[in-house]
Amino acid sequence: MRVKTMFASNTLSEHILRGAIGIAALGYALAIAETHPWGSLASGALVLLAFRGCPICWTIGLFETAGSNGAGGRLSIVESAQG
């Protein structure tokens, strides 16, 4: 049975795409921060949305997605930590 966690995506390519969007939005937010602070904040919100939180959350989701897609019955990282 496949366990769906809040960090994991349906496919690995979807997760990588969300990461690429998040990194691009982060770079754009930093580039325009001095001249357009409100635009930078809006882009920062897009970063949080794409990453589903912080970059660490995205990284956990990457392992969750890879584990659930490739291992069949293996426990997720979150389940293993919870006991």
Please give the model's pTM, rounded to 2 decimal places.
0.71
> Cβ distance 51 to 57 under 8 Å?
yes
Query: What are the phi and psi torsion angles at 71 (to 5°)?
Result: -110, -5
Taking the C-alpha atoms of residue 25 and residue 16, their distance in angstroms, rounded to an integer, is 14
- pLDDT tens column, 22-78: 999 999 999 999 999 999 999 999 999 998 888 898 888 888 888 876 655 444 555
